[in-house]
Structure 1
Amino acid sequence: MGFHAYESPYDWSRIAGYKATAKAADGGMVDLSVGSPVDPVPEAARRALAAASDAPNAYGYPATAGTADLRAAIDDWFRDCRGVDPKAVNAAVVPTVGSKEAVALMASLLHLGPGDVVVQPRVSYPTYEIGTQLAGATVLKVDDVADVDSWRSVPGVKAVWVNSPCNPTGQVLADHWLADIVAAARQIGAVTLSDECYALMTWGGAPAACALESDVCEGSAQGVLTLYSLSKQSNMAGYRTAFIAGDRSLVTRMTEYRKQIGQIIPGPVQAAMAAALRNHDSVAEQRDRYRRRLEALVGGLRAHGYDAQMPAGALYVWVPARSGDCWTDMADLARIGIVPSPGEFYGAPEFLRFSATATDEAIDQAVARLKG
């Protein structure tokens, strides 16, 4: 039957007019809307890409499941950075062409459709809802996914989206909340879909909990799928490097489908991905950049009258609109050349999202204008 129709307020063309106004402002536009990285790709990843440019995995068809080296790098990364032994919880892995297609195709690859319900946070990344709609399933938005009583008795729930650290709010779920979600989903035969793309970008201490931690998943990946991306930690958004890890039976079936539809990371990019996953120093350097930018943004927004706080995680400052309406604030900010994201894109039209994925110079300009 193919993809079903979808509808969403998530349309970047809706802010084109605000960008035009901002470009005409004194000093031009400072774009803090789209969370697109601006910093260099780690040198180790670039070297690996070049070295693999004429390897068998480049001139021949690349492996859908990833090279042995890439799979080993992912296993090592889980152990070193997430405190998880994938083999101990019987988890399998498949690389994806960025995390967005993994999110958008997830409900379809799980064979969900009419009559099935997918739970997600009310304020969240828009592609969760779009992916559910594409599959023809029903979206159930709840204020707090960790409040398992808000969804576990709803008929037809087959999957539950979790996002920690959260885009756009920055919320980080404690490990016991994540464990409660996994347990409740299993009780009703639903799959926990844990989007952990910002897991190493936390600002209050240790990384966010992983749904594949033994204490969270009770020693088994059954019914649990996690997603991770190198777009932010390694500035590789254009490389389209991400992966799904979790329930071996689900990942194995997804891998077969992905092979048939050609959702395969190019061979040289797989080599770059493996190198980046092993390059912990570059990730620490990027974290320091984002921390500085977020702290500066918070200070500037406070000076401008916003109730801004340092997020617990992720790369965005999420604030209530001063006027109570995101679009009114968008117009006001555009006049001083600043363009954030309207909260309506994420399900909260009374909020704004300011992205720290801008150069130091751009952040400094924005802060100066906010304080001016």
Structure 2
Amino acid sequence: MSSRTLPDFPWDSLRPARARAAQHPGGVVDLSIGTPVDPTPDVLRTALAAGSDAPGYPTALGTTDLRLAAANWLQRRLGVTVADPLGDTPSVIPTVGSKELVALLPTLLGLQGGTVVIPEVAYPTYEVGAVVAGLRVLRSDVPPEDVADPVLVWLNSPGNPHGRVLTPDELRAWVAWGRARGVPVVADECYVELGWDVVPTSVLHPAVAGGSHEGLLAVHSLSKQSTAAGYRAGLLSGDPALVTRVWEARRHLGLLVPGPVQAAAAAALGDDAHVELARSRYGARRERLRAAVEAWGGRIEHSEAGLYLWTTRDEDCWTTVDRLADLGIVVAPGSFYGPAGQRHVRMALTATDERVDAAVQRLTA
């Protein structure tokens, strides 16, 4: 693959499985893409409507309300204290969801030449972002000693697709490795509010970062925790020097979060009740689906956090995809996420209770 050739869009290869699943008399249960299906909470919808009189351009920096709400959320929910969010060099800015940031971060940081380190099993957009910037990719779950030209590290905890959570010791090892080489370490923490068996730790937490966020960034999103994927509301926080570099580039490129969305995001970040409601819904679906998958003969690995069950039957992932399609269930093959996922499938918890119950009935029949 050349440095500028993007990989095929992986979801297109699921079309035959979708067509096969559609023949099931009970209809399709789509557990392939983790898109929320529950209603967006009123706290966001009310704030969005109230902010809808927005004749002027929004700011790339983010409104005062949003930056303060984000800093308060980081402290309240994650135990993270960022530098003054209203300072001359910002420590937190809004993003148009998280995917565009992941895809563009190497470019926004102005990285030229070198290697981006990503997890062995990883969200495909980390690789896409490297390719767009003309950079190479190395997959590694431990700090590598054999890469001569690292320019960026992506961590993902809780992980997509497998729900793996990095321990504080593992996070500290990456932080030390990056700082020793002057390489930014960026943690995608979009599922941080959805820990089940463990409580995830942010890379910005003082137990990991020490007394400084130097060289560190964290990415967050309201898509899952606030059931608001359609709003495209995310956050970037951490080292003010790095945040400022990204902010300056975004100003030039016009990567602006709409004003009404910024108002909704500020309201959401100040309200914990709707997040707990989403957690309870997903937790209940997780328990039902997990038991059914295990009864069907699947083995679930990791999955201690996040919105997915990482499942294997010790066979090629596409064989498992076909087995489930025969039951009218669509899942994502693990090969989408790298060679190490070849014998797993990802099953999302983002289906309605009725569709989850349909899947449970089919898996246990």
Give the letter for the 1:30 counterpart: V
**The one of 327, 333, 357 aligned to 2:324:** 333
Q: Distance in 1 between matches of 2:145 and 2:246?
A: 25
CA contact (8 A) 1:9 1:345 kept: no
Partner SS state of residue 62, structure 1 = coil
CA contact (8 A) 1:33 1:354 kept: yes
Q: Distance in 2 between matches of 1:42 and 1:313?
A: 22
Shift of 1:6: 3.2
2:363 alignment partner in structure 1: 370
CA contact (8 A) 2:302 2:310 kept: no
1:187 and 2:185 matched: no
Q: Which runs of 4+ in 1 moved over 3 A?
A: 88-91
Give the letter for the 1:297 counterpart: L
Q: Distance in 1 between matches of 2:164 and 2:90?
A: 26
**The one of 133, 136, 145 aligned to 1:135:** 133
Q: Distance in 2 between matches of 1:285 and 1:31?
A: 22
Shift of 1:153: 4.5
Q: Could you tell which deviates more after superposition, 271-280 or 90-99? A: 90-99
Shift of 1:265: 0.4
- Cα deviation digits, residues 268-287 of structure 1 (max 9, x gap): 00000001111100000100
1:126 alignment partner in structure 2: 124
**The one of 272, 276, 282 aligned to 1:284:** 276
1:242 and 2:240 matched: no
Q: Distance in 2 between matches of 1:6 and 1:83?
A: 40
1:167 alignment partner in structure 2: 160
Shift of 1:139: 0.2
1:229 and 2:221 matched: yes
Q: Distance in 2 between matches of 1:155 and 1:318?
A: 33
Structure 2: give runs of 5+ residues left out of the alignment: none
- Cα deviation digits, residues 294-325 of structure 1 (max 9, x gap): 11111111111111257211110001145x11
Shift of 1:260: 1.3
1:198 alignment partner in structure 2: 191
Q: Distance in 1 between matches of 2:194 and 2:263?
A: 24
After superposition, the CA RMSD in angstroms is 1.7
Q: Distance in 2 between matches of 1:52 and 1:100?
A: 24
Q: Distance in 1 between matches of 2:214 and 2:9?
A: 33
Q: Could you tell which deviates more after superposition, 5-14 or 290-299? A: 5-14
Partner SS state of residue 264, structure 1 = coil
Give the letter for the 1:253 counterpart: R
TM-score (norm 2): 0.95
TM-score (norm 1): 0.93
2:44 alignment partner in structure 1: 45
Structure 1: give runs of 5+ residues left out of the alignment: none
CA contact (8 A) 1:78 1:84 kept: yes
Shift of 1:48: 0.4
Q: Distance in 2 between matches of 1:314 and 1:112?
A: 30
**The one of 211, 214, 230 aligned to 1:219:** 211
Shift of 1:46: 0.5
Q: Distance in 2 between matches of 1:10 and 1:325?
A: 20
**The one of 240, 256, 278 aligned to 1:264:** 256
Shift of 1:215: 2.3
1:69 alignment partner in structure 2: 65
Q: Distance in 1 between matches of 2:198 and 2:129?
A: 32
1:305 alignment partner in structure 2: 297
Partner SS state of residue 154, structure 2 = strand
Q: Distance in 2 between matches of 1:226 and 1:152?
A: 24
The count of aligned residue pairs is 359
Give the letter for the 1:192 counterpart: V
CA contact (8 A) 2:6 2:132 kept: no
Q: Distance in 2 between matches of 1:172 and 1:350?
A: 20
2:351 alignment partner in structure 1: 358
Q: Distance in 1 between matches of 2:42 and 2:201?
A: 29
Q: Distance in 1 between matches of 2:170 and 2:4?
A: 34
Q: Distance in 2 between matches of 1:4 and 1:278?
A: 42
Q: Distance in 2 between matches of 1:110 and 1:267?
A: 25
CA contact (8 A) 2:105 2:246 kept: no
1:80 alignment partner in structure 2: 76
CA contact (8 A) 1:94 1:255 kept: yes
